[in-house]
């Protein structure tokens, strides 16, 4: 395998997670130390770029990401910036011939996402989204069971992503609370994750009827400020979705889930079985098999916890008995991106897959605004 040199564009909290995850991949898969290299970093200010380079241990830093794209020693870029500059940087990176790893959500709108997909395809570079929850072994096991027909005829599905990160009215405005920077609130921030999980497991969505609400409508303009300004993104979203075959589902997304830290739950029900995943128990998948006997003596009917643990194909460390963590899912998502470069295969989750999630979100916004069910073909 040829060494891959990566440059980070953006280095906030999630950029730091990505940098740490790249460094861990060599140990998970017993790879040579010089196979995955972070060679540069760009932020919007010279002082933060310099500090990031010192933390990462790379020689090149800049406050102008275009200098990253001009370098011959950069093979791929990892983009961790606010949503409103995704399109600009992805398109420029594709034109510069760089492979692209970009944080979710894909874009501010479907229109932007289409332009990004077209730019990537025209350039012939690899591009992948950061949907790290896909890479929990329990989710991959659920996908296998669904594809094998374990559920039988599917009745319904449910997805939930709750956090309590914005319950305080004293939490000030930030870029995540500005529609001109993010495109949306909880729906775009958290919803993109849970919608991708359901899309990964079940396939395309067909239509959605949604209600989006802003529960705290004014916030301080800065920490401790008495002056407030309006919040123009959603705090909470409820989606009633349908798949192309008519299967109904409910998706709940909230940054106002008091008591929730990172509450991610998926439930899928069929006439032959059911599947339940809870991120709070990441090493297991819960399944219900209708064929189990319900006899009073010796019956096995009921939800069963099956271990999935750290079953990553080809991984050397930690061994399969260890429960997967948040960082491990990021590392696996990034490893699969790098493998697509080494093996010249199509990356997944791809830009086009991210675009489908973008369509679900845009249809949800339109549905909430117009109080009607919206088909994804409309957006």
Domain that holds residue 111: 4-131+332-346
* Residues 291, 200 within the same domain: yes
pLDDT digits (tens, 9 = 90+) for 142-180: 999 999 999 999 999 999 999 999 999 999 999 999 999
Amino acid 14: pLDDT:
95
Q: What is the pLDDT of residues 44-68, one digit of tens each?
A: 999 999 999 999 999 999 999 999 9
- Asked whether residue 184 is assigned to any structural domain, the reply reads yes
Same domain, 172 and 44: no
Rounded alpha-carbon distances, angstroms, from residue 331 to 17, 79, 300, 324, 350? 9, 15, 37, 11, 17
Residues 148 and 112 in one domain: no
Structural domain contains residue 115? yes
Residues 163, 113, single domain; the answer is: no
One domain, residues 119 and 150: no
What pLDDT does 292 receive?
Answer: 85
Domain count, the chain: 2
Which alpha helices (DSSP H) does the chain contain, by range? Answer: 13-28, 46-56, 65-69, 86-95, 110-123, 137-147, 179-182, 186-189, 191-202, 326-343, 351-370
User: Could you tell me if 238 and 362 lie in one domain?
Assistant: yes
User: Helix, strand, or coil here: 32?
Assistant: coil
223 & 125 share domain:
no
Contact 178, 81 (CB under 8 A): no
Do 165 and 212 lie in a common domain?
A: yes
pLDDT at 301: 82
Is 61 within the bounds of a domain?
A: yes
CATH code for the domain in which residue 241 is found? 3.30.360.10
In a domain, 154, yes or no: yes
Pick from 241, 230, 145: which is nearest to 194 by CA? 241
Q: Is residue 321 part of a domain?
A: no
Same domain, 96 and 139: no
The per-residue pLDDT for 298 is 65
The verdict on residue 160 lying in a domain is: yes
pLDDT at 162: 98
Please tell me whether residues 290 and 365 are part of one structural domain: yes
For the chain, list residues with pLDDT below 70.
296, 298
Specify whether 120 is located in the same domain as 153.
Answer: no
């Amino acid at each position: 395998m040829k060494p891959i040199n990566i440059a980070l564009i953006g280095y906030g909290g999630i950029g730091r997670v990505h940098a740490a995850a790249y460094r861990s991949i060599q140990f998970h898969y017993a790879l040579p130390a010089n196979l995955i290299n972070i060679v540069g970093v760009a932020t919007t200010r010279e002082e933060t770029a310099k500090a990031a380079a010192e933390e990462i241990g790379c020689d090149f830093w800049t406050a102008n990401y275009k200098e990253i794209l001009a370098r011959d020693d950069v093979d791929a870029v990892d983009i961790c910036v606010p949503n409103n500059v995704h399109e600009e940087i992805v398109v420029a990176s594709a034109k510069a011939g760089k492979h692209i790893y970009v944080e979710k959500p894909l874009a501010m709108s479907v229109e932007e996402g289409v332009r990004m997909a077209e730019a990537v395809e025209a350039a012939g570079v690899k591009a992948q989204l950061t949907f790290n929850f896909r890479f929990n072994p329990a989710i991959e096991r659920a996908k296998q069971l669904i594809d094998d027909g374990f559920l039988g005829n599917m009745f319904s599905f449910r997805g939930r992503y709750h956090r309590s990160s914005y319950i305080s009215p004293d939490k000030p405005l930030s870029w995540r609370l500005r529609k001109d920077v993010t495109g949306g609130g909880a729906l775009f921030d958290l919803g993109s994750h849970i919608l991708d999980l359901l899309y990964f497991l079940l396939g395309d969505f067909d239509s959605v009827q949604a209600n989006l609400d802003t529960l705290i409508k004014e916030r301080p303009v800065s920490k401790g400020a008495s002056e407030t300004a309006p919040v123009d993104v959603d705090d909470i979203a409820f989606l009633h979705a349908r798949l192309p075959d008519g299967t109904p589902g409910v998706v709940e997304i909230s940054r106002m889930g008091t008591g929730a830290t990172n509450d991610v739950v998926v439930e899928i029900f069929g006439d032959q079985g059911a599947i339940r995943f809870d991120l709070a128990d990441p090493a297991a998948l819960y399944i219900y098999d209708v064929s189990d006997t319900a006899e009073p003596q010796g019956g096995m009917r009921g939800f069963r916890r099956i271990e999935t643990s750290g079953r990553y194909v080809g991984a050397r460390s930690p061994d399969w008995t260890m429960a997967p963590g948040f960082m491990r899912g990021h590392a696996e998502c990034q490893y699969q991106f790098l493998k697509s470069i080494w093996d010249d295969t199509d990356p997944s989750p791809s830009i086009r897959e991210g675009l489908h999630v973008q369509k679900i979100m845009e249809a949800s916004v339109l549905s909430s605004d117009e109080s009607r069910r919206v088909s994804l073909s409309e957006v």
